[in-house]
Structures are given as C-alpha cells and as structure tokens.
Amino acid sequence: MSEVVLKTENLSKSYSVKHKTIPALKDLSLEIKRGEFVAIMGHSGSGKTTLLSILGCLDKPTEGSVYLDGVNLAGLHGSQLSRIRRNKIGFVFQSFNLLPYLNAKENVELAMESTGMSKSERSARATELLALVGLSGREDHRPQQLSAGEQQRVAIARALANNPSVILADELTGNLDGKTKYEIMKLLVKLNLQGTTIVLVTHDQKVAAESERTIRLASGRIKSEGRGNLAKRKENHPPNAKGTQVPEEIKADEFYDEG
C-alpha cells in the first residue's frame, strides 16, 4: 500500500568525453517509497552523484525512465522540469551552496520566490523551518557567521521550504566532523519520522547505517541492498497516526569517535 515516490526503470547514463564513452549508470532499476529514508552508497566513481542528478531532474538519462510521483520525467520540457525541481525536490549538497550575502532566513525565503506565496507567508515559513532545524535566534546570521553544521541546517531548511516530495542529499555530511555529522543525521532522522522522504548519497558507512535502507552501487549497477538501523526502529515502534512515535536516538558513540 506504500506509495512509490521515485522509480527508475532500466536507467543507463553515459558521458561522452573526447569521442570516448564513459558509462556511469547501467540498467539501473529502483523504487523509493513515500516516507522512506534511503542511503545510496558506493566507492568514488560508482555513479552515486549521476544517479542523484537524474533523480533530481538536473540531468537526463541516456536510456531508461524516471518517474516522480507517477509522472514520467522524459516527457517534460525545460520549464516543466524546473517547476518540478522547485516544487517537488529539495536538494542538499556537501558544499551547502548558501548565498553568502543573504542571511539564514533570506536564504530559506529565496527558495519560495515565484511560488505564489506572499512575502509575509514566506517570512513566517522560513522562521518556522529554521526553528525546525534548531536555528531559532540565528535567522539574521550570514553563512560566514555560522558553523559548518549550522550552514548545513540552513540548507536543509531551504530544501524543505516548498514541502517537496523528496529530499535528495549528496554527501551532505562530507564536510562535517564526527559530532556535527551525528547532529545532522539526528535531524534527518527526525524529519524522516515526521514524513519527509529522504535519499542520501554517502560513502560514509556510519551515516548509511543510520538510514532505513541502503543501496550499494558498484560500476553504475546496484550491487546489494541492506537494512539500516532506522528500519529496525520503525519496526519496533510502528509510527502512530501522526508518524512521530519512533524514538529518534541514534548511536552517537561511533560518530564521536572520529571527532
């Protein structure tokens, strides 16, 4: 009965560089269900970023199909795709990608421009989202006045702004120390337990272990799938009607080790 948010069918992607063809994804089929927290793992060059770019309509496959909320993305034009990117997908990148001359709140508000929301609605929503990610009181701080972990929280708030169908995150903990990584994972688990669907690309075993389902890529193919700690926790504590009944604790010790 779980609804499928993202689906790929026999996805292939090759890059052409100087008359050479570089295969990045090969015949890859997967499904992400609404409410899932999936970690995509694999060594450098295994195709993780390519897959995420295609899932997020930033790039097109060479072959195969991608469906988002049941819509085949191949049939859409540029402006339709950018509307989907804005309204249905929240991106979070390793490098945060915040605008340096805007404060935290303005960075979040910017994501809601040209969505038909009034200025006061955007302002209220940005404040609410910054509170959700634990940044109340820091609204008027610019990125350079925030720590790396705090900047990533702003980026997460921005990704949530238009209530997307899915959050796509590429190595979002890659620039963070052990403790901060742990805090960010705790936040993502909290958001997931509130219903946000998350697809996270990571080469970090500890981060992946805290997700619900892991998909391991090798040379552009799915090599294996596994269950993460969140799957066990959801099983032991089935979400209530509000979906918020599952304990949020994740094992901090392993993350702190690196600190």
Closest residue by Cα to residue 24 from 218, 161, 154, 163: 218
Other C-beta atoms lying within 10 Å of the C-beta of residue 240 = 9
Q: How far is the CB of 92 from ligand ADP (least distance, A)?
A: 15
Q: Which is nearer to Mg ion, 93 or 135 (CB)?
A: 93
Binders of ligand ADP in range 46-65 (CB under 6 A): 46-50
**Long-range contacts of residues 133-141, Cβ cutoff 8 Å, at least 24 apart:** 133/157, 133/187, 134/187, 135/104, 138/104, 139/103, 139/104, 139/105, 140/103, 140/104, 140/105, 141/103, 141/104
Catalog residues that contact Mg ion under the rule CB under 5 A: 48-49
Q: Which is nearer to ligand ADP, 48 or 105 (CB)?
A: 48
**CB nearest Mg ion: which residue?**
49
Q: How far is the CB of 21 from ligand ADP (least distance, A)?
A: 10
Distance separating alpha carbons of residues 239 and 257, to the nearest angstrom:
31
Q: How far is the CB of 200 from Mg ion (least distance, A)?
A: 12
Q: Which helix (H) or strand (E) holds 200?
A: strand 198-201
Binding-site partner at residue 192 among Mg ion, ligand ADP, none, CB < 5 to 8 Å by type:
none
DSSP-assigned states of every residue in 15-50: EEETTEEEEEEEEEEEEEETT-EEEEE--TTSSHHH
Q: How far is the CB of 89 from ligand ADP (least distance, A)?
A: 18
End-to-end CA distance of the chain: 42
Q: Which is nearer to ligand ADP, 18 or 242 (CB)?
A: 18
Q: Which is nearer to ligand ADP, 111 or 172 (CB)?
A: 172
Site string for ligand ADP, 10-49 (x = CB under 6 A): -----x-x----x-x-----------------x-xxxxxx
- Number of residues near ligand ADP (by CB under 6 A): 12
Q: Which is nearer to Mg ion, 51 or 68 (CB)?
A: 51
Q: Which is nearer to ligand ADP, 61 or 143 (CB)?
A: 61
Helix (H, G, I), strand (E, B) or coil at 163: coil
Closest residue by Cα to residue 110 from 94, 129, 137, 95: 129
Q: Which residues form the interface with ligand ADP (CB under 6 A)?
A: 15, 17, 22, 24, 42, 44-50
